[in-house]
Amino acid sequence: MAKVIKEHIHSLLEKGTRQDGRKLLEYRKDVSVEYGISPKSAEGSARVRIGETEVVAGVKLGIGVPYPDQQDAGSIMVGTELSPIAGDRFEMGPPSIESIEISRVVDRGIRESGALDFKKLCVKKGEMVWQVFIDMYPINDAGNLRDACSLAALAALKDAKFPELDKSTQKVDYKKKTKVGMPLTDDPIEVTVIKINEDFLIDPTVEEEEYLDSRLTVAFLKDGTICAMQKGGKGALSTEDINKMVGIASDNVKILRKAL
């Protein structure tokens, strides 16, 4: 059956179309972002839908000790939970390779962009900093979880507000939120392009992802500057391939930015 599906996908790509009727470089048009979906359980939250793919993200804040080499900066930790509720290919248990990779892709886009000012997360140098925990929960995997998770994480950060902190006791009152948001200076958005044989596709379906040769996720700042990239898949990419994939991603980042 897998061989039949693969041959069918290849046959469609040769004709310039896909299983859902889209063109190879056509993003799903129904992209939406919903903010503040879980105000009681997280400091910031958001839901992203790309077609039938749905991801929920939450941001929790805590007080901790800074890292030895970053005495005046806070930190972030990104996690992705791929559970059977999102798709039958996922299993309960410790983080899978895919969940770790998605978390790293999202983390890299935020961290390498410099969009989150870690210095402003410092409460008292060498003693007390804010720690930002970003958790992503795919509800339904209909393909392209990387773009959906990245967008959901960024939206949850934009929605987040600091809770009240008593500096003398170092206790956080999570029932009382301030009006102070995350120190974000930009909106790094990621777009993923895949390669199957000699064809390039964006916003892939689950089936297309299963039979890809290579994948490239590119993160862009508002002004179009590339701030991060991550390659996936077993196939090699030439310099020409990478240039084409970056160009395709750049052409489509506006779709996600508009939704944000």
Residue 183 backbone class (left: φ over 0; alpha: ψ -120 to 50; beta: rest): beta
At residue 119, φ and ψ (nearest 5 deg) are -65, -35
As a whole number of angstroms, the distance between CA 192 and CA 205 comes to: 12
154: domain CATH number is 3.30.230.70
Instruction: Taking residues 108-112, report their average pLDDT.
Output: 94
Q: How many residues belong to the chain?
A: 260
CB atoms within 10 A of CB 86: 19
Kindly indicate the confidence band of residue 19, based on its pLDDT and cuts at 50, 70 and 90. Answer: confident
pLDDT of residue 73: 95
Range of the domain at 253: 2-259
Share of the chain above pLDDT 90, in %: 77
- 113 closest CA partner among 157, 61, 62: 157
Is pLDDT of 105 > 70?
A: yes
pLDDT digits (tens, 9 = 90+) for 155-197: 999 999 999 998 778 788 998 889 999 999 999 999 999 999 9
Instruction: Annotate 174-202 with b (16+ C-beta within 10 A) or e (fewer).
Output: eeeeeeeebbbebbbbbbbbbbbeebbbb
For 108, list phi and psi in degrees, rounded to 5: -65, -40
With H, G, I as helix, E, B as strand and everything else as coil, classify residue 54: strand
CA 19 to chain centre: 25
**Quick one: what percent of the chain has pLDDT higher than 70?**
99
Predicted local distance difference test score (pLDDT) of residue 1: 52
User: Binning pLDDT at 50, 70 and 90, where does residue 133 land?
Assistant: very high
Q: What is the DSSP code (8-state) at residue 92?
A: S
Q: What pLDDT is recorded for position 190?
A: 97
- Model pLDDT for residues 29-86, shown as the tens digit of each residue: 899 999 999 988 899 999 999 999 999 999 999 999 999 999 999 999 999 999 999 9
Residues ≥6 apart with Cβ < 8 Å to 19: 8, 9, 12, 205, 207, 208
pLDDT of residue 2: 67
Query: Which residue, among 141, 13, 118, has the nearest Cα to 67 in the 3D structure?
Result: 118
The answer to whether residues 39 and 125 touch, using CB atoms and an 8 Å cutoff, is: no
Average pLDDT taken over every residue of the chain:
92
What Cα–Cα distance (Å) separates residue 228 from each residue in 115, 181, 188? 12, 24, 9
Read off the tokens for 193: 């392009």
Predicted model pTM: 0.92
Alpha-carbon span 45 to 36, nearest angstrom: 5
Tally of domains within the chain: 1
Q: At what angle do helices 145-159 and 97-113 cross, to 10 degrees?
A: 50
pLDDT of residue 211: 87
Cα(105)–Cα(147) distance, integer angstroms: 10
Condensed to tens digits (0 to 9), the pLDDT of residues 213-254 reads 999 999 999 999 999 999 999 999 999 999 999 999 999 999
Residue of 127, 149, 132 lying closest to 140 (CA atoms): 149
Which pLDDT score is estimated for 162? 95
Q: pLDDT tens, 196-205? A: 999 999 999 9
Six-digit token pair at 86?
């999102």
